[in-house]
Structure 1
Amino acid sequence: MNTAYQRGVGLMEVLVALLLLAIGVLGYTALQVRAVEASTEATQRSHALFVLKGLAESIRANNTGRTAYQNLVNTAQESVHAKACINSNNLCTAENLARADVAQAQANAGNFGMQLRMEVCPGVANVTGEETRMCLYAAWGATNITANTTACMNATGVYVVGSSCLMMELY
């Protein structure tokens, strides 16, 4: 066998093996980046659920002040009023308690970089009967719901693709 034809073949095998290894490492890196993004999104959703659940329970507990919550949630509240109401010896009115609840929820949402909004749930605006069903929204990242929730979901209740938000129906 002529060894002159075999020179450099080992080097080519090593280069091909390195190329395959590099492709595998790039694939693994892309997988890790996607896993970190999914983990961050899950954490944000968990925080949003925490804030929305707390506010929903406060609304449920303060049924007398239920009608005041929508306007309060949709405007910024000062936490000074919340502390003055809760820390005083006088009993709070239903609206003052609602203001305190919303201020606390907005402070919690702000700590997580979120916005809150409360609107009539999608698809039930024309339903007659008992009370109109209300929904709480939390949004983060590039999704802005300060004026309305169209950046989060459409009028039929379908989430907008690419939005970072969560909706919770109140009972």
Structure 2
Amino acid sequence: MMHRQRGVGLVEVLVAVLLLSVAVLGFSALQIRAVSATDESLVRTKSMTLVRNLSEVMRAYPEAYVTVSGTTFVTAAASDAGAVPTIQAVISGSATNTVKVDSDDISITGTDSCLSTGIKTVDDKKVAKQACSINQLAARDALMVKKIATDEDIKVNVTTCPGTTTQAIQTQMCVITAWNSTKAILDDDDEKACADSNGIYKSGSQCLISEAY
């Protein structure tokens, strides 16, 4: 009988190790999922902060409109053909640090900017040597928000909300933030778009769409 039972203890140990391994693997998977959920929650929080900041910037310059041309913009009235809110033009454009507004460089680096620490006297009043126009200030503030988004690896875009015909910040605009492989756009054909043209989120997209007025 003793001869026949040799190795039984080893089998029991192997079975115990197998069960323990399954339990550990399950726990590891749970940990990975928990970390992923935490990261997702963190990036969503950052995205909401960006949206709030950008919404405040949009409200600060309701009359700022430009015509769009790459990274170069020209001041326009809201009623002009092709006029786009300055914030939308800068955020949606390719520029990251510097743009041109009415032929003047506007930069968040401080090397080329209408902002200045110097002052001059005009009619017995001290004013900045270089004064920014509303569109230049709007462009600079938009660049700062865009730079923060870039540093956080979050893509940001401003577009007209689905169903809104008037392209004006005062009516209804959609701020889209996206991360990882998702694009901050509304597109029916692009599989990596945040949502379709009706604003319906696409399956698996990692993004947020927020309305701003």
Taking only aligned residues, the RMSD between alpha carbons, in angstroms, comes to 2.3
Structure 1 residues 76 and 126: alpha-carbon distance in aligned structure 2, compared to 1, 3 A threshold: closer
1:126 to partner: Cα distance: 5.2
**How is 1:9-88 mapped onto 2 (pairs within 5 angstroms)?**
9-65=8-64, 67-77=85-95, 78-79=97-98, 81-82=106-107, 83=110, 84-87=113-116
Q: Which string of whole-angstrom CA distances, capped at 9 and with x for unpartnered residues, describes residues 82-104 of structure 1?
A: 44234361443221111011110
Per-residue deviation, 1:21: 0.3
Aligned counterpart for 2:209 among listed residues 164, 167, 170: 167
**1:6 alignment partner, SS class:** coil
Letter in 1 for 2:31: Q
Whichever residue aligns with residue 158 of structure 2, its letter is M
Instruction: Give the 5 Å matches for 1:135-146.
Output: 135-145=174-184
From 123, 132, 135, the counterpart of 1:92: 132
The answer to whether the 8 Å contact 2:175/2:209 transfers is yes
Letter in 2 for 1:73: I
Q: Quick one: higher RCO (CA 8 Å, sep 6+), 1 or 2?
A: 1
C-alpha displacement of 1:54: 0.8
Are residues 1:158 and 2:197 paired?
A: no
The aligned amino acid for 1:42 is S
Identity of aligned residues (%): 34
Q: For structure 2, list consecutive stretches of 5 or more residues without a partner in the other structure.
A: 66-84, 99-104, 118-127, 188-192
Point out 4+ residue stretches in structure 1 off by more than 6 angstroms: none
Higher helix proportion, which one?
A: 1
How many residue pairs match? The answer is 165
Query: What CA distance in whole angstroms lies between the structure 2 residues aligned with 1:75 and 1:85?
Result: 20
Q: Which amino acid aligns with 1:116?
A: V
TM-score (norm 2): 0.68
Contact 2:186 2:197 (C-alpha < 8 Å) held by counterparts: no
Classify 1:103/1:142 alpha carbon distance in 2 versus 1 (closer, same or farther; 3 Å).
Answer: same
Q: Offset of 1:55 from its aligned partner?
A: 1.0
Structure 1 position 64, deviation (Å)? 2.4
Residue 111 of structure 1, CA deviation? 0.4
Give CA deviations for 1:15-62 in whole Å, capped at 9, x if unaligned: 111100011111111111112222222222222222221111111122
More strand by share: 2
